[in-house]
Amino acid sequence: MKRLLMIAYHFPPLAGSSGIQRTLRFAEHLPEFGWSPIVLTTHPRAYERTHPDHLAALPPDLPVIRAQAWDAARHFSIARRYPGCLALPDRWSSWRWGGIVSGLLALQKYRPAAIWSTFPIATAHMIGGTLARASRLPWVADFRDPMAQDGFPVDPAQWRRYDQIERRTIARASASVFAAPSALAEYRTRYPSHADHMHLIENGYDDTLTTPDTGSAPLNPGRLTVVHSGIVYPSERDPSQLFEALAHLKASVPAQLDRLRLRFRGAVHEDLLHTLASRYGVEAFIEVCPLTDYRSATREMLAADGLLLLQASNCNQQIPAKFYEYLASRRPILTLADPAGDTAQGARSAGLDALAPLDDAAAIATLLKHFIDAPAHGTRATEASVQAASRRARTAVLATLLNGLVTDQPDSTPNP
């Protein structure tokens, strides 16, 4: 069985990011397709939030290497200020050196046949590139989403560093992978000489997710509970117009709105939600709930009357990872996203018609009113789209890509 060295910041026991699941589920399913993974990640101190229960999700025989790393914003700051150079390309730039040293030792010990690194922590690609040059092994750079974008990162120095890392990675990697169709199309246009080395592997859902029992207790008996599970970013998932829509419904159809509750689970930016709820006078219809472990969060999705997806137009080339978990739940889905973006397109492709622009309060109000009246109308994904989005199916695509890169290499085995 060939070995794969996987370099990822987002990994248990990190809490609060669905991005963990991409690496974790690849690592879980790769052995089925002839690949044995080794994960190189950071020391847990680098994580702002951790959840010990997440460690239970790790395959018992998975080697995990936790390299030395610190968070510049928490470990190197004085009065919440720290030198900007310590956060280039990101706050975990210290992971680079620990990752390279630990990675070189892993190359000697496990003798992998290929290297895989994943964004959105740019330092991971820096580690991957260095180890690939040192070993001359095939390197798959998993970008997931666009890296250097117009206006992002906002800081000019960080943008220049992102741009430099992006160009070097595209030029040196054996393959570059993206998680959304528009991102893949943009990068093929941006780097035409490397277009043939670019591939699409979308996110997916954990294959152990199951639909709820028909007798499951409702989250709020007598009311419809719509759950948003995960981070609510102030810009990329700005909920302002959603709260304005609730205020409109409160004024126009108060009895209908009283049948609805919006539950935000693990939003991280809870203060933003409380502020908006107070501003628009809709506190009675909002539930802001703390972060919980992955299994508990998925059980909540399965019990919800509906699931809420938020994606702003500045993320048109991205699809939230939770979208695929929503598909697996087979629950009604309400999508608030730019109609021209990949998220809305993905929803339409799955047979979902309950769509409204995230920045259009009137359209959101109409969508919510229709949902209250007929929760199942236009909100359920097709079974074919659900089956195609499993993590196992996505892993098969990755394994095929890896096999093509190492066709002429013998299987590797660890040193005794």
Find the domain containing 69 and state its range. Answer: 2-204+390-405
Residue 415 lies in a domain: no
Partners of residue 66 on adjacent β-strands: 41
Query: Alpha-carbon distance 214 to 185, whole Å?
Result: 42
Q: Which CATH number does the domain housing residue 61 bear?
A: 3.40.50.2000
Residue 13 lies in a domain: yes
Residues 264 and 373 in one domain: yes
Residue 209 lies in a domain: no
Residues 232 and 135 in one domain: no
Residue 216: pLDDT band (50, 70, 90) is low
At residue 310's C-alpha, the angle toward residues 306 and 314, to 5°, is 165
Residues 40 and 84 in one domain: yes
Burial zone of 319 (CB within 10 Å; 0-12 exposed, 13-18 middle, 19+ buried) = buried
Q: What order of strands is seen across the sheet that includes strand 355-356?
A: 286-289, 260-265, 224-229, 306-311, 333-337, 355-356
Residue 80: pLDDT band (50, 70, 90) is confident
- Cβ contact 336:232 at 8 Å: no
Residue 412: pLDDT band (50, 70, 90) is very low
Residues 270 and 159 in one domain: no
The pLDDT, as a whole number, for residue 413 is 43
Residues 265 and 371 in one domain: yes
Residues 184 and 276 in one domain: no
Residues 326 and 198 in one domain: no
Model confidence pTM above 0.85 = no
9-33 average pLDDT score: 92
Residues 131 and 107 in one domain: yes
Residue 412 lies in a domain: no
Residues 383 and 304 in one domain: yes
Q: Give me the chain's average pLDDT, please.
A: 92
The model's pLDDT over 129-164, given as tens digits with 9 standing for 90+, comes to 999 999 999 999 999 999 999 888 999 999 999 999
The answer to whether the peptide bond before residue 89 is cis (omega within 30 degrees of 0) is yes
The pLDDT, as a whole number, for residue 19 is 81
Number of structural domains (the chain) is 2
Residues 237 and 350 in one domain: yes
At residue 86's C-alpha, the angle toward residues 160 and 51, to 5°, is 105
Residues 36 and 137 in one domain: yes
Residue 416 lies in a domain: no
Residue 411 lies in a domain: no
Residues 169 and 258 in one domain: no
